[in-house]
Amino acid sequence: MSRIVPLGSVAVFCLVSLVGFAADANAQESRRPNILFAIADDWSYGHASAYGCSWVETPSFDRIAREGLLFNNAYTPNAKCAPSRAIILTGRYSWQLEQAGNHMCYFPAKFGGFVERLAADGYRAGYTGKGWGPGIANDANGNRREITGKAYSKRKAKPPAKMISNNDYAGNFGDFLGDVPEGKPWVFWYGTTEPHRGYEYGAGVRLGKKTSDIDRVPSYWPDNETVRNDMLDYAIEVEHYDNHLGKILRQLEQAGQLDQTLIVATSDHGMPFPRAKGQAYDESNHIPLAVRWPAAIKHPGRVVDDFVDFAGLAPTFLRAAKIETAGPIMQPTSGKDFFDIFAASGPVEGRDHVLVGKERHDIGRPDQGGYPIRGIRQGDWLYLRNFETDRWPGGNPETGYLNCDGGPTKTEVLELRRAGTASTFWRLCFGKRPQEELYHVGRDPDCVDNLVGNSDHSDRIAKMREQMQSELKAHGDPRMFGQGNVFDRYEYTSPATVDFYERYTAGEKLKAGWVSPTDFEPEPLD
């Protein structure tokens, strides 16, 4: 015979606690995550201690990787600031973004970004440092868009070296966090201006590094003390980004919000050195990426070899925020979100390649021309198609090779050519290129041994070319339909840059502040 026992106070307390626990668990499950997007400016893949680099220390990035996922094959489809960041924001490839596929452009109002979409759906949105740019992003009424949220920039702090911003990035994040109402989800864009040039020459050695710490100088630069110092100065600026990232993580821990936050740490493209930033080689588009999100990553601590690109970030953020449609603020996204990788314990089928390319970046070519490229990185292989081989890839020599930032390494390469020695460095960094290029990146990470013309690889070239063109056509890429010159006709945002080549060569005194005066060749080199 059973009997009913009255619930005592302890039993009632336990029952209430269990109900409360279940309710809290359900709330945790349904809560939309905060989103922290931490992006450095011009930081190459591999230059983090999580990747085994001995001369760049990144404990904060390493922590995110250790407690989340570290990506070995993450790429930006376009290795220049404005188009790369436009891809991140919209989830669309740069060849799908009209003017926003160029550098120093007008961002079309119809292409909304994930930050704007999240803000419209109840997220508090803010940023510090560098958001999208350079360029102008206005809405349909001509008002400036908060394309990466409300600016937080009041706090300043003394930087460790000259040329590093005095923006107290972490302090400004703290101000933002204090402004977020309790229980409201937020999205924050933490964007440093480091390691963008310029640098304090010798800062790396001054702050304790040794040029002998560098295990390898890329084969397309001279290996000397000047170049090694330049690399160490770059390392100091990467570490500045990482230092503030660590401070931000500690603030999240103190606020009890770390595990409620989806954190992405990355860079917009490769380092600001010759043949890297602004081109389409592996050093150009291959970027560091670590993601931490305990709520969705099933096997943290894993190193991911699947290929991903920046077009997948916006759809990942929208899905995490439980937003089912990108519109009306955003256009349909083209990238694939990362949720299949978050749930996996190993390789994910179908993630074996990415597309890369570029149109017009910096000024300095006749008729405001760019240097159009499309390419596909698949497995160990990189195939590139150069569409205007009569143009200079880094910009015209007589106007300073303006698609390569000035710095000691660039100066070394240029001076060696002028001296008549070691001209191979100049050819690899600035010389004109053939129509097609093929590299085995596994054996040739510097991409200096072009295998086009080797009959052993003719089938591979044909297959990669066909796959690239097929996917680009599906994207509606104007370049695939004979309309690629549209990118050269889009306006620059500043009158000072319009017809720069024609005005400069006609004798007008013009300056381009991101290069050295000695970068300009006295005569054309054709």
pLDDT in tens, 365-423: 999 999 999 999 999 999 999 999 999 999 999 999 999 999 999 999 999 999 998 89
Mean pLDDT of 315-324: 98
Percent of the chain with pLDDT over 70: 94
Residues 114-159 have pLDDT tens digits of: 999 999 999 999 999 999 999 999 999 999 999 999 999 999 999 9
- Output the CA–CA distances (angstroms, integers) from residue 501 to 218, 484, 490, 524, in the order listed: 31, 21, 16, 12
Reported in sequence order, the residue ranges of 31-108 that DSSP labels E, i.e. its strands, are 34-40, 69-75, 105-106
Give the mean pLDDT of 200-218: 98
Question: Which tens digit of pLDDT belongs to each residue from 467-480?
Answer: 999 999 999 999 99
Q: What is the mean pLDDT of residues 254-280?
A: 98
**Residue 526 — pLDDT band, cuts 50, 70, 90?**
confident
Sign of CA dihedral 519, 520, 525, 526: positive
Name the pLDDT band for 23 (thresholds 50, 70, 90).
very low
In this prediction, residues 499-524 reach a mean pLDDT of: 95
Q: Which two tokens mark 52?
A: 């085994």
Q: What percent of the chain has pLDDT over 90?
A: 93
Residue type, 501: Y
Mean pLDDT of all residues in 42-67: 98
Distance CA 376, CA 357 (A): 8
pLDDT band at 333 (very low <50, low <70, confident <90, very high): very high
> Using CA atoms, how far apart are residues 267 and 51, in angstroms rounded to an integer?
15
Is pLDDT of 16 > 50? no
Query: What's the pLDDT at 422?
Result: 85
Name the strand (E) or helix (H) holding 81.
helix 81-90
Q: Please give the Cα distance from 236 to 283 (Å, whole number).
A: 19
Task: Give the pairing type, strands 69-75 and 286-292.
Answer: antiparallel
| The predicted structure's pLDDT at residue 144 | 97
- pLDDT, one tens digit per residue, over 70-117 is 999 999 999 999 999 999 999 999 999 999 999 999 999 999 999 999
Output the pLDDT for position 30: 60
Buried residues in 415-446 as b, exposed as e (16+ CB within 10 A)? ebbeeeeeebbbebbbeebeebbbbbbeebbb
Largest CA distance in the chain: 107
User: What are φ and ψ of residue 353, in 5° steps?
Assistant: -160, 165
pLDDT confidence tier of residue 13, bands split at 50, 70 and 90: very low
Q: What tokens does 455 get?
A: 């009959």
Query: What is the average pLDDT value for the chain, to the nearest integer?
Result: 94
Q: Is pLDDT at 8 greater than 60 in this prediction?
A: no
pLDDT of 27 reads 47
Over 80: is that where the pLDDT of 15 sits? no
346-378 pLDDT, tens per residue?
999 999 999 999 999 999 999 999 999 999 999
Q: Are the beta carbons of 519 and 406 closer than 8 angstroms?
A: yes
- Check whether 513 has a pLDDT greater than 70: yes
